[in-house]
A and B are shown apart, each in its own frame.
Chain A
Amino acid sequence: MTDGERDLLLRMDGICKSFPGVVALDNAWLRVGRGEVHCLVGQNGAGKSTLMKILNGAYRKDRGTITFDGREVDFHKPHEAQEAGISTIYQEINLVPYRSVAENIFMGREPRRFGLINWPRMNREASQVLSRLGIQIDVRQPLMKLNVALQQMVAIARAVSFQAKLVIMDEPTSSLAEHEVATLFEVIRGLKAQGVSVIYISHRLDELHQIGDRITIMRDGQTIEERPLSEISKLEIVAKMLGRELDVVQQAGATGFRKRAAHTDGEPLLEVKHLRRGRVLQDASVSARPGEIVGLAGLLGSGRTEVARAIFGADPVDDGEIRINGQRARFRSPADAIRAGIGFCTEDRKSEGIIPYLSVRENLTLAALPTLARNGIVDRARQREIVDRYVRLLGIKAASAEQKIRELSGGNQQKVLLARWLCLNPKLLLLDEPTRGIDVGAKAEIQKLIDDLADAGLGVLMISSEIEELLEGSDRITVMRDGKTVAEFERDEIDQRALLTAMAHGASAEQAEA
């Protein structure tokens, strides 16, 4: 790569794409050099995913040209792009959980002998591919036995084994904990050293400068800016993505949270003591008062989500106690917890949140249906009233309340799911990664909303992987590690270093990889 004339691997020019009623891409362009880690950022709906889908053959472009590796291309099917050397690793890992690691890497092109799969060779080659990425695991074990980070590595190994010249990574770190991200970055640097280019899509702005060489910023289907990352600040990136003035962003801070008065008085609303469940929860304790935002920190697999699920009655508990307003609670199902005034926004919107083919209206009122019905018949007028109110209150952007929720952006889906609980006037809200995978604008709005809810007297238990969100949003932070509560900090006594130390201490890299 030279400064003036870069050695370009990929050149996309004047790309246009329309869907019925929407212009998704309007003269977008992208240039990626050889051996370059190229970051691609933009809010949800900016056109990043559409551009990538056109590149890898999942969509057809309406107009524009694509030059890859010196020749003009137009892939009609994803496997054509793959054969040409373009591999994509999606946000949701597209692998088969029940098959072995080796099978997943070689699926569709297993080495054969006499028409049968040559297992020894396949396992050997799979191990080689993985060890080139610095990973030593038994390739014969089923994929589902691995943690998410390692599954991601398997996906990358699969991509690399196609002799990829360009690897597209769509939100690769969204389900990884901090130290797993470091491993991923090592792998990316390894790819780069081998001359492979990487298009790196991420909502985590902190990562861009760590890993990227250049950045392309998109907004509203257009390419806004391309620059070396060394010449652009995080703040500028946010400003370009949002299309806002720099000083406004500067004033807003890193998150949408403001400094609230801490709520240290009052009787506890939620008390969880010495919770145990199998191996995942070994001694978990956490509490929250009305009007308090309690951050629940921990690495992936620390038991954060499991605590929330146990409180909500989604999983049975072996031992320990949960008290709501001082009363011993034993919820046998989420329905019981909901009746007791608890709401739970899950981490994974797609698999545990939305009902994709139902409308915004039905998704929003799903938990409230029993309260909206008389003799089992839904009171349509009241239902619509509630939906209208919350669509306005949270600024949910949908064509109408009857639009299917799967057609909404991630941020708007999340708002609908929040409204699902808010319309029940809960006492306690369990939020698992409330701003994960949504664009910066919607993120700040949701953070502001969480603040407002706490001000209105709600107790909030907020699980998050984002340090800034925890530090700026929480009145108190409880840290978990290996299913145990290991530390608790008041807001005044915590900084990033102390928090990270508490989260990471004792959880060695080998343990996480095994």
Chain B
Amino acid sequence: MANVGQTEARPARPAADRVVLPRWLRAAGQTHGAVIALLLLVLFNAIFTTNYLAWSTLRVNLDQVATIVIVGIGMTLVIATGGIDLSVGALMAIAGSLAPLIFDSDWGPLDRPWVGIPLAIVLPILLTGFLGLFNGFLVTYFRIQPIIATLVLYLGGRGIAKALSDGILLDFNNPSFEYLGKGRPLGIPVQVILMAILLLIAAWMMRSTVFGRYILATGGNEPAARLAGVPVSRVKLAVYAISGLLAGLAGLIWAARISAADPYRAGEFMELDAIAAAAVGGTALTGGRATIIGTLLGAVIIQQVRFTLISHNVSDGTTRIVIAAAIILAVLIQRQREQ
């Protein structure tokens, strides 16, 4: 399975009876199923969808995929340790609901925009990061299975968001904050830039840092990793915290884009989109094998399937069925390649 986190150069040694491809080509080849699927989707749309190749269409597509990818990065790290994080959608709602309480507050220094806006970004992210740490705490110290541990905030998190916003959809009008979801420096959406930066950092981290290697060792064989001195509990705490931080950021982007705090709809089904992106991209749900770039590919594919169907007026129900079928197909293809 592709491990784009491991793309260091290595000399290709020709074997006696087969041609050894250069490593970059093999890495691409390992995800080729996903790449081909994406190319087919693009080709189909280029021919049959009006205005598909327009810059504005591309921007809309990137716009929509950015939050999935940002959450998907954290999800990929968690899955790489052999865990899963169901709480990300609820954490997005919490971050989105907390932010307007801060920048709309008349209390003391918060009233000043240069204090209120940065705090409205930093504090919600810190809070969701802290809640991610709580997930990690349940998983490591209480040894609760990740799916159950994160189910706690999946269910409870939206309750917190509703309490924060008094259970109503809260519209706001704050151009400075909304820049996070609507800003277009150099014509590129802010969240796309954030996504790109986070992707680069995460891919580099997986490849080159001790922490990145510890993540894969923990997911690959936890008892062995512990006996080799890997601080597995700290590694797990860290990935859940990172997943929480990234979910918080995605929640702020989501709120900024629609100019509202919506405790019900913000980040709805995001956990499933993020897991699907990772799975389609080639990250093994059993842990130990993960690819950040694959998650990007996976997210783009799922988004493109959705876009294609919607722009051809296929009903929402059918769209979901098609996406489900695409996920099964992608996972089956990867299974084949593994054997």
Contacts and interface: CB of A to CB of B under 8 A. Distances in A.
Chain A partners chain B: yes
A352 B222 CA distance: 8
Given A355-B221, A357-B220, A400-B13, A367 B209 contact: no
B179 interface: no
A20 B11 CA distance: 20
A486 interface: no
A357 B1 CA distance: 9
B209 A334 contact: no
A21 B18 contact: yes
Contact of A366 (B15, B223, B230): B230
B282 to A, nearest CB: 12
A399 B13 contact: yes
A377 B289 CA distance: 20
B226 interface: yes
A377 B17 CA distance: 38
Interface in A396-454: 399-402, 420
Interface residues of B, number: 32
B224 A351 contact: yes
Contacts of B225: 355, 366
Q: Which of B220, B229, B284, B289 has the most CB of A within 10 A?
A: B229
Nearest to B288: A357
B216 interface: yes
Contact of B209 (A358, A378, A400, A420): A378
A200 interface: no
A354 interface: yes
Interface of A is mostly: loop
Contacts of A362: 213, 216-217
A344 B227 contact: yes
Given A351-B221, A358-B220, A366 B228 contact: yes
Interface in B219-249: 220-221, 223-231
Nearest to B16: A21
A380 interface: yes
A314 interface: yes
Contacts of A346: 224, 227
A333 B223 contact: no
A20 B20 CA distance: 12
- The number of chain A residues touching the other chain, given as a range, is 20 to 34
A93 interface: no
A312 interface: yes
A401 to B, nearest CB: 8
Contacts of B1: 357
Interface in B284-300: 284, 288-289
A380 B208 contact: yes
A378 B230 CA distance: 15
Interface in B196-224: 208-211, 213-214, 216-217, 220-221, 223-224
Contact of B210 (A335, A356, A373): A373
B143 interface: no
Contact of A369 (B6, B10, B214, B284): B214
Nearest to B3: A357
Q: Which of A312, A335, A370, A420 has the most CB of B within 10 A?
A: A335
Interface in A313-356: 314, 333-335, 338, 344, 346, 351-356
A232 B49 CA distance: 78
Nearest to A375: B209
Q: Which of A357, A366, A380, A401 has the most CB of B within 10 A?
A: A357
A399 B20 CA distance: 12
Contact of A358 (B10, B216, B226): B216
Q: Which of A20, A334, A401 has the most CB of B within 10 A?
A: A334
Nearest to B286: A357
A70 interface: no
B226 A367 contact: no
Interface in B11-52: 11, 13, 15-18
A378 B210 contact: yes
A98 to B, nearest CB: 15
A366 B6 CA distance: 15
A376 interface: yes
Contacts of A376: 209-211
Contact of A420 (B10, B17, B18, B228): B228
Contact of B289 (A354, A357, A400): A357
A355 B288 contact: yes
A10 to B, nearest CB: 28
A354 B229 CA distance: 13
Interface in A370-390: 370, 373, 376-378, 380
Nearest to B23: A402
B210 A370 contact: yes
Given A370-B210, A376-B210, A402-B10, A352 B18 contact: no
Interface string A282-321: 0000000000000000000000000000001010000000
B339 to A, nearest CB: 11
Contacts of B284: 357
Q: Which of B17, B210, B224 has the most CB of A within 10 A?
A: B224
A352 B216 contact: no
A270 to B, nearest CB: 18
A351 B13 contact: no
A21 B15 contact: yes
A370 B228 CA distance: 11
Contacts of B288: 355-358
A333 B220 contact: no
Contacts of B10: 400-402
Nearest to B217: A355
Contacts of B289: 357
A367 B228 contact: yes
Nearest to A349: B224
Contacts of B13: 399-400
Given A334-B227, A420-B228, A355 B210 contact: no
Contacts of B224: 346, 351-355
A504 B243 CA distance: 54
Nearest to B287: A357
A344 B229 CA distance: 10
Nearest to A362: B213
Nearest to B214: A369
A378 B213 contact: yes
**Which 6 A-B pairs have CB atoms at the shortest separation, nearest pair first?**
A355-B220, A335-B229, A338-B229, A366-B228, A367-B228, A373-B210
11 contacts: A21-B17, A333-B231, A335-B231, A338-B228, A352-B223, A352-B227, A355-B225, A356-B221, A362-B216, A366-B213, A399-B13
Given A346-B227, A351-B224, A358-B216, 9 more contacts: A338-B228, A353-B224, A355-B224, A355-B225, A357-B1, A357-B284, A358-B213, A366-B229, A373-B210
